[in-house]
Structure 1
Amino acid sequence: MGRETAGTSGNTDLLVHHGSTDAPTVDVNEVSGPSVLVNDISYGEFDPNGYLELPTADYTINISTADGVTVVASYDAPLATLGLNNAAAVVVASGFLDPTVNSNGPAFGLWVALPSGGALVALPPAGSTPTEPTVSAPSPTLPESEVLSVYSDTYTTNTVSGFVFQDFINGGGISSQVDIESDGNTTGKIENLAFYGPRFDAIDLSVESSPGVPMYDYVHFDYYATTSTELRFYIIDGDLGACCGDAREPRYVINASGGDELLEQGVWKSVFIPLSQHINFSGLAGLTWNGNPVTQLKFEGNGDFYFDNIYFSKNISLSNNDFNKTTFSAYPNPTQNSWTIKGANAKIESINVFDILGKVVLKLSPNTSEARIDGSTLKAGIYFAQIKTLSGIDSVKLIKQ
């Protein structure tokens, strides 16, 4: 029978399954120790000895042929980093050692099915675990007038009040603020994540700047994952009527298998999430998320990661490069049919129009200083035009009535 918790406190219990059709019968060894963890396991088998009971730690393992002569593969198994203390999980070997003779199928790998469910977590090849960041997250480029900042050293004028860096965190988690480049720019760091969140005085995200036009359309954050393989982000609506792991809570999922967005380790990534993603979350089951009141944000997932530049915005910043930008305008705006895009003495190379979910709905290559966007086929709503010139990239909000 499957387990969710370890039989002994301080341990992690693992049930190993061999599911790779072209891999031989193998042993599994911990690199720094001589003992065999799993002995003579063949395709289609679970470890006949049942659950492997290990002290919770981060390991490196070798998968070797049963005679111990050939190392088939080596992996990092960061049990502590994945937050598996006192937990049980299933480890599955799958894929092909030689995909080229197996219809170019998926390559061999090890995956962990966590007791909390969700996507399988791929174990990284030995020695490939990403290093800590050496630079801070790129400075955001949106005008401060378009932003309500929660956590950022770049935006200091329009910010939430009463900010508390750690309002809650799982028992084994550690939160801290670090200065990566020793330049006064602080970055959030979370180790051994299961759940973590900051809080602040209540804000109302349902406010409109004019009838039918939300004050803010997006929430943004930057992340740098060292060992995290999944992050789930929540904007907590105090009147939702669901919390604390309830499946009806709206969330945005970033993981190594895809989710709403593919997680990447070892690099700073910028994430813009449309607030409509929470409003229209498919699992609400009759509940209403309208962003009022919001006093907390929450990250769930595993492993270690850094974050910075959490803010709500009217637009998305489509480039973090330091461009010498030309300011473009769109008119009429709102419109029922089309917009004219115009900038001062700048030839427009291309225009991509995005809907509020980030999907490209129109593409143009005008190569002129003035361009017309035909919106007659678009539904009423808010869009963003990404405008590329030789000087860089700008963006303009478009409203279709």
Structure 2
Amino acid sequence: MKIMNNRFAKILPLSVAMVLAFSCERELDDLQPAEYPSNPNVFIDGFSGGLEYAAFGGSVPTAFDVDNEVTYLNTSETSMRFEVPDAGDPRGAYAGGAFFTTVGRDLTEYDALTFWAKASKAANIDVVGFGNDLGEARHQASVSGLAITTNWQKYIIPLPDPSRLTAEKGLFYYSEGPEDGRGYTFWVDELKFEKLGTLAHPKHSMLNGEDQVETSFVGVSKRIEGLSSTFNLPTGVNRTVGVTPAYFEFASSDESIAVVDGSGVVTVVGGPGTAEITATVGGVAAEGSLTIESVGDFVNAPTPVIPQDNVISLFSEAYMNEPVDYYNGFWEPFQTTLSADFEVNGDRVLNYTDFNFVGIQFTSPTIDATAMTHLHIDIYLPNPLAGTARMQLEVVDFGSGGTGVFATDIPASQAQQWISLDVPLSNFAGLGSRAELAQVIFVDVNGNIPGFYADNIFFYDDSTPPTMPATAAPTPTHPSDDVLSIFSEAYPSLEGTDFFPNWGQATVVSEVAIDGNNTLKYTGLNYQGIQLAEAQDVSDMAFLHIDYWTDNSAQLNVFLISPGPVETPVSLTVPTSGWGSVDIPLSDFSPVALDNLIQLKFDGNGDIFLDNIYFRK
């Protein structure tokens, strides 16, 4: 198995000073653009003029050398030799470095970087390319997993758009680690830029060629990923090159909604409205697009209200956070999830895109959550759901606790709003000890969650019984003939109502007696449905009445739902000061079909007490 590393996080520091001198007798109008040499050679029997080499940080610094014994067809005087180390080599974890010049070269007349190569054994070089100048590396292009054999073969790396390479300093770079734990040697010879004239059928892609649609908000930024260029080589093989955004000309269909800069960063600047982001490379339209559906201003996740002393936080502006190794380790080879985190109104938000699974790791130190009872996470699915999604959470203990698994269903109606998950740690099947927690992992079980936002990720202690209302809810006084009751001891209520339908929620539902009056209690609310035994016609009613009480909720919404589902939330003021009583005009729930009402739903957070839920004239 190949040992992978984050190889480009550190490089050897270099400093280059360039001094330009102009004669004081020259007029500014006489100055001409600098002309850069068009020398195509990189290594032909030795370094070309001005070429330098620097090893990447963490690599074996002596991995590269000049070889005068093994050369292409034994016709060259020297070749480039690269020694890949064994796993665990104290000198470095891999071989990697860049060949660059301090003065740029004009490569616009060429269409490919070519070289001959062989290896001491068949292998796949992690990365080979050009454009890494140990600086901004704006025009980097590379081939991943380049298959190399024990025989000399010619390799071609197409230039995505040569017209961009007017002053390129990064002429060649590579990175390769041990394969199956063992190192090996490979050689490169006759390394140069060429005008082949036989590269055909250019195809460029953004977002891996997909047409993506994303709901977003004013102030949110997203970098365009999945950039590549593919050419048909003279051998008939298609070669795909990973490229940087500087090769692309990005455009927005409506810059009052979203703008995109030269580095491929899309920023939502207005809304509501829609803007489509597209691109071209050298005048050729790129496959793939990003449609931003801005809904306007961003709504931050609910602010947690649990005291700091009861919390161990991984990610939240409301608390002091514990040290975290990373919020996205990008575990190869199967993970596709990328990160495009953003900050709005001073609140940082984790943004996971191309989601299949992703892990948060915290090992320095691990976390002792023995005294904690729950895991809290706020998530937001910015894209519409085609159907019910299923999110799996895993909590991993690096000691003797093993891995605990909990899964929850997310109905399509829960998309495009914050969902608060408060999961008892006892619900994580398979989790033993919680003394050395080290990872929280998210998994898309059904494969239909394109991405999600996350905030307020923390463990907390909820072992102290929550405060309860000192008195029962006020007794209603509306005439019984004018009321259709869902839950109330003051009126006959609908029969067959299910107050705990299995919608995959984390909420714990119970009935408690307060002053002898049965009261509905939601503990650790994330969302909770009420399923009516049969559809109801409340079109002749005027209000939905609710009595509610909470001292620790920061968000509470109530929904009416008709088939479709069609649902509309109404926000309730929380926390309350005593019992809160509301009469919500049914017109506030438009466009719900009031003559075909099938469900009610609450979502938010905290512990909620409910009574006297009824419709009235």
TM-score normalized with structure 2 length = 0.28
Higher relative contact order (CA 8 A, sep 6+): 1
Q: Which has the larger radius of gyration?
A: 2
